[in-house]
Amino acid sequence: MKINKIYIPIYTATILIVGILIGSKLNYTKSSVLSFNQSSPSQAKLNRLIDLINYEYVDSVNSDSIVDLAVSGILSHLDPHSTYIDNQNIEAVSDHMRGEFVGIGINFYPYKDSVAVIKPLEGGPSIKAGIKSGDRIFKANGEAVYGKSLSNGTVIEKLKGAKGSEVNLTVYRRSLDSIMEFTLKRDAIPIKSVDAAYMFNDTIGYVKINRFSESTHKEFTSVSSRLVSDELKALVLDLRGNPGGFLDVAEAVADEFLEKDQLIFFTKDKFNESDYRYATSGGLFEGIYVYVLIDESSASASEIIAGAIQDNDRGTIVGRRSFGKGLVQREMPLGDGSVIRLTVSRYFTPTGRSIQKPYKDGDKDYNEEFLDRYFNGELYSASHIEVNDSLKFETPKGKIVYGGGGIIPDIFVPLRFRMDNETLDYVYRSGYISYFIFEELDHYRSFYASFTKEDFVKDFEVNDAFLNRFKTYLGARLNSEINYFRDINDVKLVLKSVIAEQLFGSDLAVQIFNQNDVMLKKIITINP
């Protein structure tokens, strides 16, 4: 089966953009102490080059942009994960990794030249003030927030501000055909890293983590503690698609499963100095069996947890071979608000494995390694996973594990749901489904408002009429008739889950989405 190249950025974007921009919060060691006051011949050479361009070059040149290019170019020759973040983007990246931002607390998108509220965020200023799904924001502090040139960046710029600052919003409410005024105080808005936590059945709990930000451990323990009971016999930790994040946060989450003094991971720097991280006592799930779900997009901090569970014989890893990122970055300021995330060490699993995949053939081969897995059949059969016997390790209970490129699962589950339905995957990730669902809810808001969570799960069905409207919507935007979804039941399930997301939030959306999940079905068969 041939894959269209338009899907390449879709399958790799999360890992190659988000995952690259994350770093550890390990404390500085003496290996990282640099003397910036002593200029080397190479540094002097670069400084002279910039001076010559500034003073002698015939045309006017922005030296800052040249320096940015130089820094990015230098880092690109080191490894795929050392990267440069300029001062214009550092705030957004920092917000993402901090797990919160300051704003009014809405999910939105530009819709017909206006800002449409998809959903006000629970506990945020907007929902407290009375903003509702479907509202259009026309003005912020008297400035227009509409027009054909409207962009997400423009909207964010006008709605964000200092914590505690006021913003006056002019809002059109379609259901009342009325213009309304609201005054809100901006506040810190959490960015959820735990998408869902619920009982999958009577004895198995389920938690899905989408990344490891500063707030993830606190969020994880808060929502997961609700699952702890005498009936809970096993927990599914879903790390599929999780690009990683802070190592110390991954360490804290892993500690919730491991017993005191069990090794979680260790690092080695360029001076071969090691830093070992061990579990403490009193973990939330120390006595509960754990299944960890991984796939080809599970990277970095996700692999720390999977490796710790696997190497300590603590549970079962289910899915497909993980991404293979075993390098540790540290954020270092450059003095002008910009930073570099520089690789300063490698991490190893408890048995001593490095799971970093090779990158000597350059970034392109590294970034497109997913395609190699696709074409060689690895995504469909465990027998196609290549292992290196020289990188073979043994767990305390005698299980053989391998280093050299990702975590190989204990139980392999072939790719089915998304990649097997490439059209559905593309449409989902492109945002067309979210936009369509918003328009559906906007037209029939009173109908959907009548559902409780329980009634929605039990009674709502994506019928043929609904499906035909969706196909018509797609056809108009893709300039072609959509008649090549391989499994229409998959389409209906995704549509229902996105409706649940916009009506009730991610927790219910994930529950619905998981109803036909092949990995969870596999766990049921081995843990009835």
pLDDT of residue 20: 39
Choosing from 215, 262, 322, 329, which is the catalytic residue?
329
Burial of 453 (0-12, 13-18, 19+ CB in 10 A): middle
Do residue 519 and residue 435 come from a single domain? yes
Choosing from 132, 158, 192, 325, which is the catalytic residue?
325
Residues 6+ apart with CB under 8 A from 456: 499, 500, 503, 504, 508
Burial of 245 (0-12, 13-18, 19+ CB in 10 A): buried
pLDDT of residue 27: 39
pLDDT of residue 102: 87
Per-residue pLDDT tens over the stretch 95-152: 777 777 888 999 888 877 788 998 898 889 999 999 999 999 989 998 888 876 667 7
Choosing from 213, 300, 322, 338, which is the catalytic residue?
300
Domain boundary among 48, 70, 96: 96
The CATH number assigned to the domain holding 169 equals 2.30.42.10
Q: Highest mean pLDDT range out of 261-270, 330-339, 485-494? A: 261-270
Residues 105 and 187 sit within 8 Å (Cβ to Cβ): yes
pLDDT of residue 484: 57
Is residue 178 scored above 80 in pLDDT? yes
pLDDT of residue 202: 93
Do residue 428 and residue 492 come from a single domain? yes
CA gap 165, 186 in Å, rounded: 6
Kindly state whether residue 80 falls inside one of the protein's structural domains: yes
**38 is annotated as an active-site residue:** no
Kindly state whether residue 236 falls inside one of the protein's structural domains: no
pLDDT of residue 417: 45
CA gap 403, 415 in Å, rounded: 22
**300 is annotated as an active-site residue:** yes
Burial 96-105 (b: 16+ CB within 10 A, else e): bbebebbbbb
Please report the sign of the dihedral spanned by the C-alpha atoms of residue 24, residue 29, residue 31, residue 32: positive
Averaged pLDDT, 148-163 = 78
pLDDT of residue 348: 97
pLDDT of residue 32: 41
Do residue 10 and residue 51 come from a single domain? yes
Kindly state whether residue 319 falls inside one of the protein's structural domains: no
Domain boundary among 74, 96, 118: 96
Query: Which of the four pLDDT bands, split at 50, 70 and 90, describes residue 489?
Result: confident
- Look at 30-34, 166-170, 294-298 and tell me which has the smallest mean pLDDT: 30-34
Averaged pLDDT, 474-491 = 74
Counted domains in the chain: 3
CA gap 224, 195 in Å, rounded: 11
Q: What are phi and psi of 497, to 5 degrees?
A: -65, -35
pLDDT of residue 1: 41
Please report the sign of the dihedral spanned by the C-alpha atoms of residue 479, residue 484, residue 488, residue 493: negative
Do residue 84 and residue 112 come from a single domain? no
Averaged pLDDT, 352-370 = 86
Residues 359 and 367 sit within 8 Å (Cβ to Cβ): no
CA gap 512, 493 in Å, rounded: 7
**325 is annotated as an active-site residue:** yes
Do residue 495 and residue 454 come from a single domain? yes
Per-residue pLDDT tens over the stretch 391-429: 999 999 999 999 999 999 999 999 874 434 667 777 888
Q: Which helix (H) or strand (E) holds 264?
A: strand 263-269
Do residue 78 and residue 39 come from a single domain? yes
Residues 112 and 101 sit within 8 Å (Cβ to Cβ): no
Averaged pLDDT, 375-391 = 93
Query: Which of the four pLDDT bands, split at 50, 70 and 90, describes residue 19?
Result: very low
Do residue 445 and residue 520 come from a single domain? yes
Is residue 368 scored above 90 in pLDDT? no
Range of the domain at 36: 5-96
Per-residue pLDDT tens over the stretch 202-244: 999 999 999 999 999 999 999 999 999 999 999 999 999 999 9
Domain boundary among 156, 190, 224: 190
pLDDT of residue 104: 92
Do residue 431 and residue 522 come from a single domain? yes
pLDDT, the chain, mean: 86
pLDDT of residue 242: 96
